[in-house]
Amino acid sequence: MVEYLPAGRSTESRKEPMAQLVGDQLFTLLEATVKPEATLMVGKKIFVGKGERAEIDRIKRRIGHNELTDSAKEMLSTVVRNIVESQEARFIEFINKAGPISMRVHQLDLLPGIGKRNMELILKERQEKPFESMGDLKKRVPTLGDPVAAIVHRIVSEIEGKERYYMFVKPFKPGGRY
């Protein structure tokens, strides 16, 4: 959860507790109503899937980055980083399987701070043996900065709608289904 508004949005006539959430699979942004008895904390993981939900009453809609509150925008990178760190195996698998998008662009090129030299070293190292963890990646590619930070930066940029290619985020289409 990136934001909790106990009195809802000031612009809405119906005042009900509301939360702004980011999905941990496709990084979709959602707005949801909160059950009156629920106690929420920003940054906490909340179940919103099918079945009994402890804190969330209903999903109102999918929202775009521009609809997040200012504090939710500030919190977004931290929440995305927590998701990436908690799903390390998923993102290491991405590093191990990333391939070319076109003749000139590789998926690893799209991660900020990787660069051509590090990309070539990653490709060489993973061919010898797939990476097992972010620590293994940093150890075998010592010139690489923080790979988690690079992935988080890319995900946030995709959420903001600034990218041509989407590798992690389901692009937002106003009026579309969540």
Please check the confidence at residue 9 and state whether its pLDDT lies above 80: no
Q: What is the mean pLDDT of residues 77-92?
A: 97
Please check the confidence at residue 11 and state whether its pLDDT lies above 90: no
Fold (topology level) of 87-159 = DNA polymerase; domain 1 (1.10.150)
Listed in sequence order, the residues at least 6 apart from 174 whose beta carbon sits closer than 8 Å to its beta carbon are: 64
Phi-psi domain of 112 (left: phi exceeds 0; alpha: psi -120 through 50; beta: other): beta
Fold (topology level) of 3-64 = OB fold (Dihydrolipoamide Acetyltransferase, E2P) (2.40.50)
Residue 22: burial class (beta carbons within 10 Å; 0-12, 13-18, 19+) = buried
Please check the confidence at residue 95 and state whether its pLDDT lies above 90: yes
- Domain 3-64 and domain 87-159 have a common topology: no
**What CA–CA distances, in Å, run from 105 to 119, 158, 160?**
11, 17, 21
Please check the confidence at residue 13 and state whether its pLDDT lies above 90: no
Phi first, then psi, for residue 90 (nearest 5°) are -60, -45
Domain boundaries, the chain: 3-64, 87-159
- State residue 177's pLDDT score: 57
Please check the confidence at residue 18 and state whether its pLDDT lies above 80: yes
Q: What is the mean pLDDT of residues 9-13?
A: 69
